[in-house]
């Protein structure tokens, strides 16, 4: 069976498994939060009040949507889903001691990882992107739709790219390291957050640096960390950001495939 | 792939497709705002032509009933003058006018032909027959335009061809009149009839929808006014690079409001914020020793990011006490 045919078969099998696993409940809660918040904002606005005020000025629906994209989706949901799903692509099979059955099939080992990675992408995108769409239509009035729709499309593309890049990085982490979840959480919520708040070139070794430079909304200042990140924020050109993000995606996915093909997984008895 | 997985993929995919489809249609073909939601602002906006550069609104009833107005009632024109006007027109401004919407259209040059550029829409209770009779007495003519009564006053005072447009009052609804040049009033009637009004102007409606709890406001394109007022080039070039503005106020015991400006780029907005910061610091320093003014200065808050600059203010009753005292002092009361 060719590599891509094998990947497709693994994708078919893995998508159902991922969608109806216990992790999906976690994902539904994480992604349902912004939708619930948007509903509350809408109800508050229906009563003629402003849900969010900055310096006593009401923030328009699209402004609230921008804050949600930054604070909920880009800084939390995308990395957290990348960590939980990405690291589990191979680690789950090792932990459940089912990897032997997968590897004994007459398919390339790398195709298993690629198929599972594509299933992860489909699964997370099919949950995250419709949730963003619902939040957008709840918060942004129809009169503002023509002028803000371009930003929504950029947001959707950015979130999709973020899920893909974080997924690839954590797929490698899951395939290579023994305690991938801890390493993944340390990378996403330790390394990236700290380095982004520091001056210097180290932030170039994060995904957030390139991803956040592409966001079409103003960066909210919601705390000391955000303030520092805002102070040391740089905006590399779009082409540079996209090139680095796709490079991360390609390199880490390739490395993850190589690791899966070469590594001898020793199952603990 | 199991059936429930297929259903899930179909439903989430459908949400994305419908959302993206709606957005694409709205972006490229435009959406009448009323399709899914009621438009922001008063209903009178449907009579304002789509190309209006400035739109202003005042809830006259709210303002008339406000405590602020009651404080300054003594300084208004004498009752005799008011009764004279009421006798002739049957119109009592305090009781008969509810709201007023004014619009400015960037047609021709405002400096040379101001009346041609303005349209005023007043909602209230009008005695049409009495107004028509009065107009006829003063040489006006009455005609129908698209089923609406139109009182037109010709400029007969000037010798030769008049430089000014004929003025008109149109009874566009039972409780709504449009006042302005004949062209403006006819354009107003057409705007409603053809559904090509300011409600479909996305930029203007965005500004209107951002207003919050204001009983008087104005929004518009600053560049359109600056380009039409006939300002000397030297002055016009020194004006800040503002593209759009909005001013909203709430009048009751005091006056609170916010002035917002949108500049052509972020650098201009930053310059403007810097200048305003300096002025605010100066105002706070000057107001230090006067308690009422101190409160006013403290209420001034500068905000905004990107291309936006906003200045909110609140005139407390202490400042109004000072102003009232000054006004009474001048009148020798």
- Tens of pLDDT, residue by residue over B113-143, are 666 778 899 988 888 888 888 888 888 888 8
pLDDT of residue A167: 93
- Tens of pLDDT, residue by residue over A113-133, are 999 999 999 999 999 999 999
CB < 8 Å from A in window 141-160 of B: none
Asked if B31 lies within 8 A of A145 by C-beta distance, the reply is: yes
* Torsion angle (degrees, nearest 10) of CA B280, B247, B235, B221: 140
Q: Determine contact: A243 vs chain B, CB below 8 A.
A: no
**B290: exposed, middle or buried (Cβ count in 10 Å: 0-12, 13-18, 19+):** middle
Min Cα separation A269/chain B (Å): 33
Structure tokens at B81: 């003058």
Q: Determine contact: A15 vs chain B, CB below 8 A.
A: yes
Which member of B36, B206, B312 has the closest CB to residue A55?
B312
Q: Determine contact: B306 vs chain A, CB below 8 A.
A: yes
pLDDT of residue A164: 94
Element (H, E) at B242: strand B242-251
> Strand, helix or coil at B196?
coil
What residues form DSSP beta bridges with B315? B255
**What ipTM does the predicted assembly reach?**
0.81
pLDDT of residue A254: 93
Q: Please give, one letter per residue, the 3-state secondary structure of B106-164.
A: CCCCCCCCHHHCEEEEEEECCCHHHHHHHHHHCCCEEEEECCEEEEEECCCCCCCCCCC
pLDDT of residue B35: 46
Tell me the C-alpha to C-alpha distance, in Å, between residue B97 and each of A29, B176, B213. Answer: 53, 10, 20
Closest by CA to B302, choosing from B274, B265, B282, B283, is: B274
Which member of A54, A133, A150 has the closest CB to residue B19?
A133
Closest by CA to B206, choosing from B223, B190, B193, B220, is: B220
> For residue B221, which phi and psi values (nearest 5 degrees)?
-95, 115
- Tens of pLDDT, residue by residue over A140-149, are 877 677 777 8
Which member of B23, B33, B40 has the closest CB to residue A152?
B23
Report the alpha-carbon distance of residue A87 to residue A81 in Å, rounded: 10
Report the alpha-carbon distance of residue A155 to residue A215 in Å, rounded: 7
Domain map (residue ranges) of chain A: 3-262
Q: Which residue of A has its CA nearest to B314?
A: A56
Count CB neighbours of B236 within 10 A: 12
For chain B, give the mean pLDDT.
78
Report the alpha-carbon distance of residue B209 to residue B212 in Å, rounded: 8
Report the alpha-carbon distance of residue B252 to residue B64 in Å, rounded: 9
Report the alpha-carbon distance of residue B15 to residue A54 in Å, rounded: 32
Asked if B303 lies within 8 A of A150 by C-beta distance, the reply is: no
Q: What one-character DSSP code corresponds to residue B49?
A: B
Report the alpha-carbon distance of residue B306 to residue B267 in Å, rounded: 8
Count CB neighbours of B303 within 10 A: 16
pLDDT of residue B296: 73
Asked if A147 lies within 8 A of B202 by C-beta distance, the reply is: yes
Provide the pLDDT confidence category of residue B299 given band limits of 50, 70 and 90.
Answer: confident
Report the alpha-carbon distance of residue A111 to residue A2 in Å, rounded: 9
Report the alpha-carbon distance of residue A25 to residue B173 in Å, rounded: 57
Q: Which chain A residues touch B210 with a CB distance below 8 Å?
A: 58, 60
Report the alpha-carbon distance of residue B63 to residue A162 in Å, rounded: 52
Q: Which segment, A89-93, A243-247, B249-253, is predicted with the most confidence on average?
A: A243-247
CB of A147 closer than 8 Å to CB of B206: yes
Asked if A16 lies within 8 A of B5 by C-beta distance, the reply is: yes
Which member of B8, B26, B213 has the closest CB to residue A145?
B26
Q: Determine contact: A147 vs chain B, CB below 8 A.
A: yes
Q: Determine contact: A21 vs chain B, CB below 8 A.
A: no
A78-86 vs A88-95: helix axis angle to the nearest 10?
A: 40
Which member of A129, A133, A218 has the closest CB to residue B306?
A218
CB < 8 Å from A in window 37-56 of B: 37, 39-40
Q: Which chain A residues touch B15 with a CB distance below 8 Å?
A: 130, 133-134
Asked if A126 lies within 8 A of B35 by C-beta distance, the reply is: no
Give the lowest-confidence range in A70-84, A253-267, B280-294: B280-294
Assess whether pLDDT exceeds 60 at residue B160: no
> Strand, helix or coil at B230?
coil
Q: DSSP states of B271-306 as a string?
A: HHHHHHHHHHHHHHHHGGG-HHHHHHHHH-EEE--T
Q: Which chain A residues touch B50 with a CB distance below 8 Å?
A: none
pLDDT of residue A129: 93
Q: Determine contact: A60 vs chain B, CB below 8 A.
A: yes
Average pLDDT on A132-155 reads: 84
Structure tokens at A194: 């700290």
Provide the pLDDT confidence category of residue A28 given band limits of 50, 70 and 90.
Answer: confident
Q: Determine contact: B132 vs chain A, CB below 8 A.
A: no
A145-176 vs A88-95: helix axis angle to the nearest 10?
A: 40
Report the alpha-carbon distance of residue B197 to residue B191 in Å, rounded: 5
pLDDT of residue A78: 92
- Tens of pLDDT, residue by residue over A48-68, are 666 666 555 556 677 788 888
Q: DSSP states of chain A as a string?
A: --HHHHHHHHHHHHHHHHHTSHHHHHHHHHHHHHHHHHHHHHHHHHTT--S-EETTEEPPHHHHHHHHIIIIIIIIIHHHHHHHHHTHHHHHHHHTT-HHHHHTSSS-HHHHHHHHHHHHHHHHHHHHHHHHHHHHHHHS-GGGHHHHHHHHHHHHHHHHHHHHHHHHHHHHHHHH-SSHHHHHHHIIIIIHHHHHTSSSSGGGGSSHHHHHTT-SSPPP--SHHHHHHHHT-----HHHHHHHHHHHHHHHHHHHHHHHHH--PPPP-
- CB within 8 Å of B249: residues ≥ 6 apart: B214, B215, B216, B217, B255, B256, B257, B258
CB of A157 closer than 8 Å to CB of B41: no
Which member of A54, A56, A130 has the closest CB to residue B16?
A130
CB of B120 closer than 8 Å to CB of B186: no
Q: Determine contact: B24 vs chain A, CB below 8 A.
A: yes
Structure tokens at A172: 């490698």
């Amino acid at each position: 069976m060719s590599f891509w045919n094998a990947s497709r078969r693994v994708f078919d099998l893995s998508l159902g498994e991922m969608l109806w696993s216990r992790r999906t409940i976690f994902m539904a809660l994480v992604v349902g939060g912004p939708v619930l918040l948007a509903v509350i904002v809408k109800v508050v606005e229906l009563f003629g009040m402003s849900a969010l005020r900055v310096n006593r000025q009401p923030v328009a629906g699209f402004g609230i949507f921008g804050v949600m994209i930054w604070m909920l989706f880009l800084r939390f949901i995308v990395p957290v889903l990348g960590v939980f799903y990405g690291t589990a692509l191979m680690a789950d099979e090792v932990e459940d001691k089912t990897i032997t059955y997968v590897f004994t099939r007459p398919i390339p080992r790398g195709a298993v990882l690629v198929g599972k990675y594509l299933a992860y992408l489909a699964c997370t995108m099919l949950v995250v992107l419709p949730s963003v769409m619902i939040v957008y239509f709840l918060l942004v009035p129809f009169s503002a739709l023509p002028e803000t729709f371009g930003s929504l499309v950029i947001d959707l593309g950015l979130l999709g790219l973020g899920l893909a890049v974080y997924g690839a990085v954590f797929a490698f982490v899951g395939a290579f390291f023994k305690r991938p979840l801890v390493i993944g959480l340390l990378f996403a919520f330790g390394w990236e957050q700290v380095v982004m708040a520091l001056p210097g070139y180290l932030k170039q070794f994060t995904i957030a640096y390139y991803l956040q430079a592409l966001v079409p909304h103003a960066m909210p200042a919601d705390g000391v960390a955000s303030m520092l990140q805002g102070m040391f924020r740089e905006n590399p050109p779009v082409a540079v950001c996209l090139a680095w993000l796709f490079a991360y995606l390609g390199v880490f996915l390739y490395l993850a495939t190589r690791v899966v093909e070469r590594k001898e997984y020793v199952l603990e008895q | 792939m199991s059936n429930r997985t297929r259903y899930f993929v179909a439903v989430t995919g459908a949400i994305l497709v419908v959302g993206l489809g709606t957005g694409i249609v709205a972006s490229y073909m435009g959406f009448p705002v009323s399709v899914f939601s009621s438009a922001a602002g008063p209903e009178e906006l449907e009579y304002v032509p789509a190309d209006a550069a400035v739109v202003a609104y005042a809830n006259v009833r709210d303002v008339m009933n406000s405590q602020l107005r009651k404080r300054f009632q003594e300084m208004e024109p004498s009752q005799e003058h008011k009764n004279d006007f009421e006798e002739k027109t049957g119109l009592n401004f305090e009781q008969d006018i509810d709201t007023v919407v004014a619009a400015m259209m960037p047609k021709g040059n405002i400096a040379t032909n101001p009346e041609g550029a303005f349209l005023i829409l007043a909602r209230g209770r009008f005695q049409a027959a009495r107004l028509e009779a009065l107009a006829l007495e003063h040489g006006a003519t009455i005609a129908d335009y698209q089923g609406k009564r139109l009182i037109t006053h010709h400029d007969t005072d000037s010798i030769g061809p008049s430089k000014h447009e004929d003025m008109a009052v149109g009874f566009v609804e039972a409780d709504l009149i449009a006042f302005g040049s004949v062209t403006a009033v006819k354009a107003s009637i057409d705007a409603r009839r053809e559904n090509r009004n300011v409600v479909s102007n996305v930029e203007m409606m965005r500004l209107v929808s951002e207003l919050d709890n204001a009983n008087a406001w104005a929004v518009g394109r600053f560049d359109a006014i600056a380009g039409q007022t006939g300002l000397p080039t030297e002055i016009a070039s020194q004006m800040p690079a503002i593209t759009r503005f909005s001013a909203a106020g709430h009048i009751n015991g005091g006056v609170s409001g916010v002035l917002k400006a949108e500049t052509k780029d972020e650098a201009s907005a930053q310059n403007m914020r810097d200048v305003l910061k300096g002025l605010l610091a100066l105002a706070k320093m000057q107001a230090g020793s006067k308690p009422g003014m101190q409160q006013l200065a403290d209420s001034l808050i500068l905000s905004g990011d990107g291309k936006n600059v906003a200045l909110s203010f609140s005139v407390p009753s202490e400042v109004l006490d000072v102003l009232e005292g000054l006004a009474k002092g001048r009148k020798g009361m």
